[in-house]
Amino acid sequence: MCSKIKSSCLADRFLSLYEQVKGGGLGLSSLDDPEVISGLRNGYRNQVYAGVLGKVVGVYMGRPFEGWHRDRLVERWGFVDRYVNGDVGVPLVVSDDDISGTLTFVRALEDSGRYGETCDEFFGDTWLNYLIEGKTVLWWGGMGHSTEHTAYLRLKDGYKSPESGSIGLNGKTVAEQIGAQIFIDGFGMACPGAPGKAAELARKASGVSHDGEAMHAAVAVAVMESAAFVVKDMETLLDLAMLYIPKDSLIAQLHRDVRQWCKEDGNWHLTYDRINEKYGYHIYGGNCHVIPNHALMVMAWSYAPDDFRLSQAIVNTAGWDTDCNAANVGCLMGLVVGAERISEKYDFVTPMAGRIILPTADGTYSATDCWTMSGLLARIGCGVMGWKLDDAISGQWMSCENLGLPMGFQPEVIEDEPATLALVPGSDGFMAARCEFPSCGGAVRMSMPVYPGSGGGGYGIVGTSKLYSGMDVVVQLGTVDLPDAEVAAFVRYPGKDGQMVMDYGEAVAASTHAQVSLKVPETKARPIVDFGLEFRSAKGGQGNVGIKAIDAKGEFAFEMESLADSSGWILDVDFQRGAFSEDREALRYIGKNKTRGFAYIGNRWWRSQRVEARLAVHLGSVAGVVAHVQGLQRYVSLTRRGDKLVLARQFYGEEILAECPCDWKLYEVRKLALECKDGYAIGYLDGVQMLKVKEDKLQNGAAGFIVEKGLLGIGKLKVSGYAQAY
């Protein structure tokens, strides 16, 4: 028996099983082979990273000209084999539904606690938890226009998945648009070497919003990506995908046609013309149908089965839904060629540095990177496969053993400084900063965003920072061969005048295995925007400073006079306003007309916490404070509800934990506080403990305020607790 560590032996075993399945000697379930699956554990995260990186590169390639026709693209650029965002004056790193949906909806598997056995309905619950209507992840085009918005509205109306996305409810055209395909990559990568499980989860995930041919397309993509962890031959992967969808489906016919045309034509332009004639937008309508776009993906994979850049160039120059198509093509190609070959012919990685903007109702990953998100996906995949977690994908902000690729960091240009910095693979396998100083010395910096800001792309951006006042950030250096240099950590945040402030930790000598630390300064709740390292030398020289790991934890605390500056907060409200003329203290109001509205700050790094504020309720059936917020369907609340004070837990449905009488009149300002720590939730009114109950289901999350069908005034507030990287 071959060693499970040898990938060639795993591939041989998988292909042998595949031949027996094709010959009828084994059932399709045999391809989810335990021996093959267990052999993929070693190096699993690095493969996931290649898939995530390939997908994100594809989005950034195709986003600037989404919706263009091939002829317009050829006229403008000839062959789109590079980033062209600068040519059309748009940013490279943007928020995009292809990235956000892929890396958000897969969280259903972990959030359910059931991983590969997650039930159909929970996938819809996940949409309601992470989506803020009109603001995050989706294109909010309206009922019957945007397939995803249609499905979301169905979920809000009480329909459960898969009925929410069914042809029977929404009609064939709406149900067969492209969204299921573009969101599916995460499920394929969570099922390494298990195409049957990938197909099963793809159907469940797709059913929230799509049906019919759209579901078949998503299944085909997920199966190919699952199998690509062990098989790197594109022809085999394309053949394999067809085993998991109906042979008489349109997607299956499309595969047969396009692959045959590619063999006959030998020129992708000729094949494109045939695709356009038989499967084009003029035949398959709606806003963005899956059939034409899936055909272009099959074409790109067929013409460039082992060439990342060429596959991107073909699928992007072909036009139509370019960011979606290039993302799916890029994910599979990343898995096939590996992360180290993505930039083999063109540097796709340095300009974007792996950066991702991920706006959802949970701010934990709102400013993130491909390496971090590969850790999340690998953690979920370990749950699906029943594998034990390791330190590289749990319990730490950032482990830098990742083939030396950027992880969200980029060099900064310092005015009048001739010194340079480049991010390179270190000699010890970790990321390293390659510093080159002139003989007179100088300084260089590298930084990464920890807060997404508010710009970039056509999709809404909300989010929170990773770092808060009082937390300790510790950087563990690896191998250092840069003599006579110092290194210091820094953060940036907006000052009172809006200008960015830089605050440094203590500089230490750059030496092998040294620690660099920083205590996050008091910012008055203004968000920490960037974190970075500055390297200084008085004598000049060149060398590498290895960066082994970065962690962030510790007690945090901040105060605000009111919610007047809500930057750095996640808001799901219909309106805001300042104090009324009769108010006798500083108040800022948030309002929600029909359902529950929120304003909260923080992320799942926050564990034990206390939130308190001076509050005034101007109407509102429910109004108060929330803690351990993990989205719109997961939080603990302490609220005024008429003549009662109520402590409750929302977990895809509300459970009242405790309540007591409360004489709190409308418009009256009172101090309300909620403390969640040591497995208990404790409620205070005007400094007096009113309620205490065991609550250990939600152990981390953000903190803030809630109001339902009314207006809540928020005065002097304090938030404190303990944070540790999640």
Residue 497: other Cβ atoms inside 10 A: 6
Backbone angles phi, psi at 118, to 5 degrees: -60, 135
Tokens of 139: 């294109």
Res. 4 pLDDT band, cuts 50 70 90: very low
| pLDDT tens-digit map of 43-53 | 999 999 999 99
Strands 606-629 and 485-494, bridge-based pairing:
unpaired
User: Taking 90 as the threshold, does the pLDDT of residue 637 lie above it?
Assistant: yes
Q: What is the separation of C-alpha 519 from the centre of its chain, rounded to a whole number of angstroms?
A: 27
Beta-ladder partners of 571: 599
Q: Which residue has the higher pLDDT, 70 or 428?
A: 70
**Residue at token pair 């409810």:** 169
The answer to whether 458 and 542 have CB atoms below 8 angstroms apart is: no
5-14, 316-325, 675-684: least confidently modelled range: 5-14
Long-range contacts of 696-700 (CB under 8 A, 24+ apart): 697/649, 697/651, 698/628, 698/630, 698/634, 698/635, 698/636, 698/649, 698/651, 699/607, 699/628, 700/604, 700/605, 700/606, 700/607, 700/628, 700/630, 700/726
pLDDT of residue 701: 97
The answer to whether 312 and 61 have CB atoms below 8 angstroms apart is: yes
25-34, 136-145, 382-391, 566-575: least confidently modelled range: 382-391
Residue 658: other Cβ atoms inside 10 A: 18
Amino acid code (one letter) for 462: V
Q: What is the mean pLDDT of residues 246-251?
A: 98
CATH number of 561-724: 2.60.120.560
pLDDT of residue 491: 98
| Cis-peptide into 162, omega within 30 deg | yes
| pLDDT tens-digit map of 379-407 | 999 999 999 887 666 667 888 876 667 78
Average pLDDT, the chain: 95
Q: What percent of the chain has pLDDT over 90?
A: 90
Q: Tally helices (H) and strands (E) across the chain.
A: 22, 25
- Within 13 Å of residue 711, how many CA atoms lie on the same side as its CB? 14
CATH number of 410-549: 2.60.120.260
User: Taking 50 as the threshold, does the pLDDT of residue 2 lie above it?
Assistant: no
Query: How far, CA to CA in Å, does 35 sit from each of 5, 230, 597?
Result: 11, 12, 49
Q: How far apart are CA 409 and CA 442, in angstroms?
A: 20
Helix (H) or strand (E) holding 571: strand 570-572
Q: What is the 3-state secondary structure (H, E, C) of 498-525?
A: CCEEEEECCCEECCCCCEEEEECCCCCC
pLDDT of residue 225: 98
Burial of 123 (0-12, 13-18, 19+ CB in 10 A): buried
Beta-ladder partners of 475: 516, 550
Backbone angles phi, psi at 85, to 5 degrees: -55, -35
Burial of 134 (0-12, 13-18, 19+ CB in 10 A): exposed
The answer to whether 640 and 619 have CB atoms below 8 angstroms apart is: no
Res. 3 pLDDT band, cuts 50 70 90: very low
Buried b (16+ CB within 10 A) or exposed e, 702-722: bbbbbbbbbbbbbbbbebbbb
Q: What is the mean pLDDT of residues 100-113?
A: 97
Amino acid code (one letter) for 687: G
Res. 497 pLDDT band, cuts 50 70 90: confident
The answer to whether 118 and 109 have CB atoms below 8 angstroms apart is: yes
> Measuring CA to CA, which residue among 172, 176, 179 is closest to residue 138?
179
User: Taking 80 as the threshold, does the pLDDT of residue 457 lie above it?
Assistant: no
Domain ranges of the chain: 40-367, 410-549, 561-724
User: Taking 80 as the threshold, does the pLDDT of residue 1 lie above it?
Assistant: no
- Going by C-beta distance under 8 Å and a sequence separation of 6 or more, which residues neighbour residue 87? 64, 76, 77
Q: What percent of the chain has pLDDT over 70?
A: 97
Q: How far apart are CA 239 and CA 308, in angstroms?
A: 20
pLDDT of residue 454: 63
The answer to whether 675 and 689 have CB atoms below 8 angstroms apart is: no
Q: How far apart are CA 542 and CA 529, in angstroms?
A: 29
> Measuring CA to CA, which residue among 182, 111, 108, 194 is closest to residue 148?
182
pLDDT of residue 458: 64
Q: What is the mean pLDDT of residues 52-58?
A: 98
pLDDT of residue 395: 65
The answer to whether 102 and 138 have CB atoms below 8 angstroms apart is: no
User: Taking 50 as the threshold, does the pLDDT of residue 438 lie above it?
Assistant: yes
Burial of 215 (0-12, 13-18, 19+ CB in 10 A): buried
Beta-ladder partners of 398: 550
40-367: which CATH number, 1.10.4080.10, 3.40.50.720, 1.10.150.120, 3.40.50.12140? 1.10.4080.10
- The SS3 call for residue 685 is strand
Helix (H) or strand (E) holding 485: strand 485-494
pLDDT of residue 393: 66
pLDDT of residue 148: 97
pLDDT of residue 453: 77
Q: What is the pTM of this model?
A: 0.96
Q: What is the mean pLDDT of residues 528-555?
A: 95
Residue 34: other Cβ atoms inside 10 A: 11
Q: How far apart are CA 627 and CA 637, in angstroms?
A: 6
Buried b (16+ CB within 10 A) or exposed e, 524-537: ebbbbbbbbbbbbb
**Residue at token pair 């459970």:** 655
